[in-house]
A and B are shown apart, each in its own frame.
Chain A
């Protein structure tokens, strides 16, 4: 009985975090981006610096009419947002924020998270195809091309840190982490972060939704709550990517007074990475499709292969 209560409690906490943290990231994006562009951003909703802007947005989205294009494939069109969102919820279950503070500690947690994250893209593809809109279809094709180019460096970068730690368990990786890994695994961290951005289709890799060319890519025909779910999936993706980067490459809960406030360190590092995600959006212009492919195949893949060799040498040298 006590075990059941504990499992339910863990699931409830993960669900709560899933509903709250992406909104926090969204609010940070609103405000930080505004200030970087010398604006103030939303100021009215909720009173203090527009803290309730996203809640107001949510209410607005709920009120809107649920429109399905006449030529669309109705079932697939309606299921797509859920397929895009759910994998990130499932991925969050396996990410630890402190020793023992994890929804479900899995022996192959890293593999699980990477595998599940790849499923979310199927949702975007479903949306892009089923809308029966040429811009949506082009967006879908771009999503698929982008995913195929960046999945490889993403997984290889994760494999590098797993090799260094000698385990696929996310908790085990944090426990094996050493401050000098910041140097040793730096290329992998960079590749992981950049490829993760590209998988989430975040700027500067938002070629699939490029609003000047494709209206809004795969999401063009979506409105109301379903559109909100896609946006929520994007923010949840940022949270998962930031948390993974923090856990894999930045040492998770390692830091001063880690015995007492370890989980705070994880959250702080996650927040920092999430802020960088927003920052990158403001700082860099969008890549072209050919630049995107070149970056993946001529930049990231050779770099991460080199990193794998370096990691292998390091592991062998240290174990002997």
Chain B
């Protein structure tokens, strides 16, 4: 086992374990904090898989913005401090069945499909800012621009949604 493999297994365990806690914990804010751990571990795996830039974007966008937004929403919707008994609907069993089915199908597909294929990370081109920037602005310019339109639409949508009650009051 190489160092990379050991690190991957450790980070993978952390990611999977904390992800399980995200969906099972009884305290709402704990779920957000465990999500931070999951996202951090996945960012670490990105670093191992030669995706340096993606890893730091993940930290900046997810931990710095998305989780803060989630915490903000939890606080604004009056999430109680203590554990809540009724966070889950009474359909845990079907949910476990569906999730297990998803895992079985996806898992067997990838293991059967890529069994024995080695991922060679020695000498892989690290996705630094330069390589990522060059590919985005040379090969993927059109998707990039479409994405910016999507963001603009989301921005306008969020503003319209947030103003909703004010307009109704004016009628």
Contacts and interface: CB of A to CB of B under 8 A. Distances in A.
B21 interface: no
Nearest to A118: B64
B50 interface: no
Interface stretch (B55-63, B115-123, B141-149): B55-63
A86 interface: no
Nearest to A108: B129
Contact of A73 (B27, B52, B63): B27
B140 interface: no
Contacts, number: 83
A130 interface: yes
A289 interface: no
B68 A147 contact: yes
A107 B59 contact: no
A119 B65 CA distance: 9
- Contact size class for A? 20 to 34
B60 A122 contact: no
A297 B134 CA distance: 31
Contacts of B57: 111, 115
A115 B59 contact: yes
Interface in A105-122: 107-108, 111-112, 114-116, 118-119, 121-122
B129 A129 contact: no
Given A108-B53, A132-B81, A121 B59 contact: no
B67 interface: yes
7 smallest CB-CB distances across A and B, nearest first, come from A118-B64, A115-B60, A144-B72, A115-B59, A132-B81, A168-B129, A108-B129
16 contacts: A73-B27, A76-B29, A107-B52, A108-B52, A108-B53, A108-B56, A114-B60, A115-B57, A116-B59, A122-B71, A129-B71, A140-B71, A144-B68, A144-B72, A147-B68, A148-B68
Interface of B: 27, 29-30, 33, 36, 52-53, 56-57, 59-60, 63-65, 67-69, 71-72, 74-76, 81-82, 128-130
Interface of A: 71-73, 76, 107-108, 111-112, 114-116, 118-119, 121-122, 125-126, 129-130, 132, 137, 140-141, 144-145, 147-148, 151, 155, 168
Given A151-B64, A168-B129, 17 more contacts: A73-B82, A112-B56, A118-B63, A118-B68, A119-B63, A121-B68, A122-B36, A122-B68, A125-B68, A126-B33, A130-B29, A132-B81, A137-B75, A144-B68, A144-B72, A148-B65, A151-B65
